Amino acid sequence: MENFEYELNMAINHILETNYPRKAFWHFDDLIDDLKSGIKAGDDAVVIKDMVINMEGPYPLKLGAKTALIHTTCDVVAMGAKPKFALNVIQAKNEDEIKLAVDGLRRQSIGLGIPIIGGNTQTVEELKSCISVAVFGELIDENLIIRDGGAKEGDLLIMLGDPVEGDIGERVYKAKKKFDTYLEILENGIKVNACKDASRGGWLGNLLEMLIKAKKGAEIKSLPHPRATRYLGTYIIALPEEEYDKVLDIALKNKCPLVLFGRILEKPKLIVGTKEYISENKMLELIKKFPYKY
């Protein structure tokens, strides 16, 4: 239990990191016509008209060559969009590093079916080698945005997909299966109230952010992964109980892992098993610290 409490504190500190930049850029949302979700919402991607855009990085070059496009795409799909194309930025020390980065991104691009159509490559010796990627997607339904803060009382909490790890081929296979399964769920009109990628901060950090935005609580009855703050690359989904069997059917057909691990509570608190780890008062304090506005 001490380890879990340590991870809980790590998760809280992680989600507080974005408060200053969000406050600094807060009013820029007002300058964009047709903006549906921007800096004020604090979601994992921005939405303008029917376009969903996300940028991630910089990743260390070797890691980015294996996963930068995969990870950046996760948030675009989570909000209910099909990825259409991507841009990248590569900082490398020499031609060998350029080749490593380009070949890795190309394999991700081909495997996911997301063409990389531009970007920038440079070799500045005094800078660390790294990669950033931006992905542009199109909403399946321009009137439907799946936000990370939309959970409702009574929703079931599920985790969808394999942890995205291994070599490039394994990562692409696992990510694409998750993307295809999730998009099929939405295309079938199944109601999803909230979805978030369990990325940095793990399932616990990202679930906490979902709860804070929704001003709700959660009761956790099983562990979707033993390391609560480990990067997973899976989706945390909140959906009405009556939709669960339909989602399970699609996951079974696609052989995509699905774990039912909890339920959304009306009162903002976190219960794991029989123990209350975050009280209502503590959760209300956290809610006050976050400047989200949908």
What are the chain's domains? Answer: 32-145 (3.30.1330.10), 146-294 (3.90.650.10)
The predicted pLDDT at position 229 comes to 84
Spatial contact of 98 and 90, defined as CB atoms under 8 Å apart: yes
What pLDDT does residue 1 have?
53
Structure confidence at residue 137 (pLDDT): 98
Q: For residues 79 and 138, give the distance between their C-alpha atoms in angstroms, rounded to a whole number.
A: 10
pLDDT band at 290 (very low <50, low <70, confident <90, very high): confident
Give the per-residue pLDDT at 200. Answer: 81
Asked if 178 contacts 161 with a C-beta cutoff of 8 angstroms, the reply is yes
What is d(CA 265, CA 156) in angstroms, rounded to the nearest whole number? 10
> Bigger pLDDT: 43 or 268?
268
Q: Is the pLDDT of residue 294 over 80?
A: no
Q: Chain-wide mean pLDDT for the chain? A: 93
Is the pLDDT score of 188 beyond 90?
yes
Cis link prior to 58 (omega < 30° from 0)?
A: yes
Give the model's pLDDT for residue 224. Answer: 85
Predicted local distance difference test score (pLDDT) of residue 167: 95
For 91-100, what is each residue's pLDDT tens digit? 999 999 999 9
Let me know: does 105 contact 68? Beta carbons within 8 Å.
yes
Distance CA 156, CA 31 (A): 37
- Give me the amino acid identity at 111: G
pLDDT at 23: 83
